[in-house]
Amino acid sequence: MTLAYQPSFEELGTPLYEVTFCVVDLETTGGSSQADAITEFGAVKVRSGEVVGEFQTLVNPDAAIPASIVVLTGITQSMVIDAPRIDEVYPSFLEFAGDSVIVAHNKSFDLGFLNAAAARLGYPKLPNRSLDTVALARRLVRSEVRSLGLRSLAAHFRSPVTPTHRALDDARATVHVLHGLLERAGTLHVTHLEDLLELPTARGNPHYDKIDLARGLPRRPGVYLFKDRHGTVIYVGKAKNLRTRVSSYFYGDERRSIGNLMREMQAVDTIVTSGELDASITELRLIHEHIPRYNRASKPPKANHFVTLTNEAFPRLSLTRKLHTGGEFALGPFRSRRAAELVMHAIWDATRIRRCSGRPGSRSGTCAPAQLGISVCPCDGSVSEAEYTAELRPLIRAIGGEPEAILDPLVDRMRDHMLALRYEEAGWARDRYRALAAALERRREWQEIQAAGTLEAADRTGEWVSIAGGRHVRSWNEKDGRPLMAVPEPRVATPVPPTVALAAEARLLWKWLAQRGTRIMSADGRLPDLATRITPISEL
């Protein structure tokens, strides 16, 4: 089932009767595309079941033709001595083939020689889409024929041309095989090129009979929802092309989880979106709404975790599950307590912030971390508030936009460990750097996008997005027209996103804004700084 949507004709794909196929066959001096050469080209162009052109020529391979090849093909050295060389033939073949779909019987052989010739002549690989009649026959008629060889298939489909190991004859025979296979594919409702190209990979998928669920889906960006027999959403995914992506599940994915998913799936719902960003955000929201059991990797966490600074005379780091408004410092949200602890340990390594929790002046001696010299301890009353503020300053600077204030000490620590051949400790320092740098980067991105206020931007595909207060409000596409825009509700600014779901959404928005080709069209606040970034540890 699909949600209400009327696809346009251009979204339905390319009907097979509109496709031009170029059926190719080559004769060569041997089986290696790198060591051997082409001796004959044969190609037939067909469209709507009719032949629209033929191409045939012998080729001088500039090498001796082995006796076994002469016996097989009948092509002798004297026949090719005056023939044009490959540098003359190949451009003519490219012009003949044009942008048609290349078809060959065992296409890896023919395309291997064509691409090897292209490389030697300074051409790029053939950009044309291609189809292998061997793979297609394996899917459609394997149980009906003795073998999948061209001679066997030509006889099976009663081709008037018998393969002779000469290029043009074999190409003509392959045309008849192709037409027979297309007729068989039609019984599986394969009527468009995109479905035909995917059909060979089906490999007898046990759930292939459910492919009818994908037949009427639009070829547009969007989100698909797989449902079980109870109507429960069991998987949510996104796609640039809904029909192609959903159909791909029936084409030979052998992962056990996919097999179980397809066994349970009984219905498909789709939501057409204005573009890829809209699809990504819709997918994210639906996963957090439905928590489908097969979306294991993106399953929302049970709780959000933050690294915060306590509100007391001598602040210390604390792990919390809620973001308290008004706090000057916060990093997160993190998907797990372990991830949050990694950032906390990174800050401890980079600063001498207290690690104890006692009241200032409440004990006669210093705590263990202070005795080791890795932190200060106000518990014994020996540290003034001014002195402690100086210890906090690197962290405050980092939060305020100077991340190197606490990242540089981690780099120094890592290098010291490496010089001392303590590689395990160096690895810990590297991991903590990465975790802290990512947390600071995400915080900066969130605050930049919030400071932009209500922002509108468009990418090169024509997708427009409206963002307000760091949140996605609406997407639309230029060709669909601009929708009525609801006035976004004012939201209280927060130092970091309050939930993992909102953080993931903000990350998607930032990456989209920062990609090449996206233009910010308007903003009622400060334009976000999309160029600044924290240097990855690999570039130091």
Give residue 79's pLDDT band: very low, low, confident or very high (50, 70, 90). Answer: very high
**How many distinct structural domains can be found in the chain?**
4
Verify that 438 and 453 share a domain, yes or no. no
54's enclosing H/E stretch is strand 50-58
Mean of pLDDT values over 199-216? 71
Q: Where among 160, 176, 195 does a domain terminate?
A: 195
3-state secondary structure of 42: strand
CB 446 within 8 A of CB 497: yes
Q: What percent of the chain has pLDDT over 90?
A: 69
Mean pLDDT of the chain: 89
Instruction: Kindly state whether residues 92 and 191 are assigned to the same domain.
Output: yes
pLDDT tens digits along 287-311: 999 999 999 888 889 899 999 999 8
What's the CATH number where 175 sits? 3.30.420.10
Is 386 in contact with 394 (CB distance < 8 Å)?
A: no
The verdict on residue 71 lying in a domain is yes
Same domain, 120 and 186: yes
Which helix (H) or strand (E) element contains residue 150? Answer: helix 150-156
Cβ atoms of residues 212 and 189 within 8 Å:
yes
Distances in whole angstroms, Cα of residue 360 to Cα of each of 121, 355, 371, 387, 391: 79, 13, 16, 13, 16
Q: Is residue 186 part of a domain?
A: yes
The verdict on residue 330 lying in a domain is no
438 and 456 both lie in a single domain = no
Burial class (CB in 10 A: 0-12, 13-18, 19+), 211: buried
- Calculate mean pLDDT across residues 48-76: 95
Whichever domain contains 218, its CATH number is 3.40.1440.10
Q: In this structure, are 519 and 532 located in the same domain?
A: yes
Cα angle: 261, vertex 267, 269; to 5 degrees: 105
pLDDT at 143 over 90: no
Residues 143 and 16 in one domain: yes
Q: Are residues 160 and 231 in the same domain?
A: no
Q: Would you call 396 exposed, middle or buried from its count of C-beta atoms within 10 A (0-12, 13-18, 19+)?
A: middle
Beta-strand pair 267-272/305-309: unpaired
Structural domain boundaries, residue 230: 203-290
Question: Which of the four pLDDT bands, split at 50, 70 and 90, describes residue 248?
Answer: confident
Whether residue 367 is found in the same domain as residue 433: yes
Report the C-alpha gap between 540 and 534 in whole angstroms: 11
Where is the domain boundary, 444, 465, 498? 444
Q: What is the pLDDT of residue 110?
A: 97
- Residue 102 inside a domain? The answer is yes
Considering the domain architecture, whether residues 264 and 147 belong to the same structural domain is answered as: no
User: Which two tokens mark 44?
Assistant: 């037939």
Q: Which pLDDT value is given to residue 203?
A: 53
pLDDT value for 204: 53
Regarding whether 173 and 281 lie in a shared domain, the answer is no
Tokens 């706090």 -> residue = 327
Mean pLDDT across 7-19 = 64
Domain membership of residue 184 (yes or no) is yes
Does 252 have pLDDT greater than 60?
no
Whether 1 is in a domain gets the answer no
Answer yes or no: is 514 within a domain. Answer: yes
Residue 140 counted as domain residue: yes
Distant-in-sequence, close-in-space partners of 466: CB < 8 Å, separation ≥ 6: 454, 455, 456, 472, 473, 474, 475, 485, 488
pLDDT of the residue at 9: 32
- Catalytic residue set: 165
- pTM attached to this predicted model: 0.70
Asked if 405 and 486 sit in the same domain, the reply is no
Integer angstrom CA distances of residue 252 from 139, 143, 246, 262, 302: 11, 18, 13, 12, 34
Region 251-257 average pLDDT: 62
Whether residue 253 has pLDDT greater than 60: no
pLDDT digits (tens, 9 = 90+) for 144-156: 999 999 999 999 9
227 & 191 share domain: no
